[in-house]
Amino acid sequence: MPHPDRFLLAGVMGWPVMHSRSPLLHNHWFGKHGLAGTYVPFAIRPEHLAAALRALHPLGFAGCNLTIPHKQQAMTIVDEVDTVGRRIGAISCVVVRPDGSLAGSNNDCYGFIQNLRQSQPGWRADAGPVAVLGAGGGSRAVCYALAQEGAKQIRLVNRTFARAKGIAEEFGGPIEALPWESRHDALDGAAMVVNATSQGMTGQPALDIRLDKLPKSALAADIIYTPLETPFLAAARSRGNRAVNGLGMLLHQGRPAWKAWFGIEPEVTPELRDLLERSLSAQG
């Protein structure tokens, strides 16, 4: 959809935000589609989030993405939240409607599943048990996505058992909460294991997990993309498991945002992935 009459604007709000690779991703798409526009990072303190979101309309923004720590608080500010966002309890994208009202959605589920499908074309959620480590916002999106895709058994493990139990009770279905002490055994017979904690991220300790019970045929996935290969993924790969990092989740969640903002569905290409990987490698 061409937009010859205006300069297109979108951005990402976080605190902090300058580490985000979203501007690189979205500005690549502006160039690729020959559009006049820009995508900017906004460092917004939590106490200023409501004012910042309400300013999007008068400033002419199509919308914005949200990153830590704003995904939950923004739900109380926008005018409408879609079904997926309500179920997950967080939104990652805001769309400014023509009348100035704000609509919130969560595209992390879509990003997670599309990343798996692109990197592992034969992947199926119902191939066997899935172990998910962590019970934060990222884990909620992962568990919801896996359940929607038909996973028959999701073994949810978290340091604070009550949080895992809360998700299992809220979502129901195939999710079984397990205590952190059971994390090693939770991998026994699993078709897939997902690290949805921050452990292994740059500046954080490595994920404390033994992989000896994980079948060699299982897929290991991480929602982290800094670094591109966490110690968890490196250990899985070294023993012969297929491994998928979190970069594709970031790339793919941008597509429905563009569809909602600009009426365009951009592609996640090898060129784009290479651009982001080179940026991350330069940082590391």
Q: What is the DSSP letter of 37?
A: E
Tokens of 204: 């954080």
Sequence-distant (≥ 6) Cβ neighbours of residue 136 within 8 angstroms: 163, 196, 197, 198
Rounded CA-CA distance 89/144 in Å is: 11
Q: What are phi and psi of 261, to 5 degrees?
A: -80, -45
- The yes-or-no answer on residue 152 being catalytic is no
Q: The domain 8-106+253-266: what is its CATH number?
A: 3.40.50.10860
> To which residue do tokens 């100035």 refer?
100
Q: Select from 3.20.20.60, 3.90.1300.10, 3.40.50.300, 3.40.50.720 the CATH code of 109-245.
A: 3.40.50.720
Catalytic residue among 32, 71, 165, 259: 71
Element spanning 42, H or E: strand 37-43
Name the nearest CA neighbour of 223 among 193, 189, 254.
Answer: 193
- How confident is the model over 128-186, as pLDDT tens digits? 999 999 998 889 999 999 999 999 999 999 999 999 999 999 999 999 999 999 999 99
Using pLDDT thresholds of 50, 70 and 90, give the confidence band for residue 112.
very high
pLDDT at position 283 is 72
Instruction: Supply the pTM of this predicted model.
Output: 0.93
pLDDT at position 252 is 98
Q: Could you give the 3-state DSSP secondary structure of residue 109? A: helix
> Domain extents for the chain?
8-106+253-266, 109-245
Common-topology check for domains 8-106+253-266 and 109-245: yes
